[in-house]
Amino acid sequence: MENSVFTISNLNLHYGTFQALNNINIDIEKNKVTALIGPSGCGKSTFLRCLNRMNDQNDKCKISGNVLYHSEDVYQKNYDVISLRTKVGMVFQKPNPFPMTIFDNVAYGPRCQGLKNKNQLYKIVESSLKKAALWEEVKDRLKESAMGLSGGQQQRLCIARAIAMEPEVILMDEPTSALDPIATLKIEELINDLKKNYAIVIVTHSMQQAARISDNTAFFLSGELIEYNQTDVVFTAPKESKTEDYITGRFG
């Protein structure tokens, strides 16, 4: 697909003798939200972590197949993993702000890349916080600790921190599971806004959330990709009986 940022083909992943992903084929499109759904332990988060090579940290992990980012295999030898993680940002299940000021959290990545100019850093911080719909709430508190923010604000700060690196793709691993309904709604509204500029891949346990915010939905079961289609098709006219059983609550 010419609109794809990622093209994944014949992807297999083993943890030791256990096969966690089995022959996954999927395209991730730009300016779209792709939701990964399925019961616990079905391979959603494992697949998500393949996209920015977060599984590298597990010595027992063996991967075969192709994960192409703009037609280049990210698992080829000598591939620049740091560059990949700059372009493919990650937001985790629980907000994980650094124990430093709000400003320093967002400026952390650009500083690590060598940016020292205070005016440029301020512009990046302001722009990133605005894109994360947090600026108005924290603009007078930039020198305060990020740990004093509410859970929902901390998660939006983590999104701002990812945005500050100017990524193309943002991966989200159940980003609202630790949040209350009001904070969840804010994150969902934010995701809807962010897709104008980014490809977003979100793991969610909530089928209602997937239906509300995603353009495409992938249903995983026991390490296999059972169905991948436009979200409205998956939820109203699934092609696979296993998908229908899951979304109607017969199992999971």
pLDDT at 2: 72
DSSP class of 80: -
pLDDT at 170: 97
- Nearest C-alpha neighbor of 84 from the set 158, 29, 5: 5
- Whole-angstrom Cα distance, residue 160 to residue 152? 12
- Whole-angstrom Cα distance, residue 243 to residue 66? 25
Q: Is the torsion defined by CA of 165, 66, 43, 188 positive or negative?
A: positive
Report percent pLDDT > 70 for the chain. Answer: 99
In total, the chain counts a number of residues equal to: 252
pLDDT at 252: 62
pLDDT at 21: 98
pLDDT at 1: 64
58-61 LR contacts (CB < 8 Å, sep 24+):
58/15, 60/15, 60/16, 61/13, 61/14, 61/15
Mean pLDDT of 116-142: 97
Residue 249 confidence class, pLDDT cut points 50, 70, 90: confident
| Dihedral angle over CA of 45, 49, 55, 60, nearest 10 | 40
pTM greater than 0.85: yes
- Whole-angstrom Cα distance, residue 190 to residue 179? 14
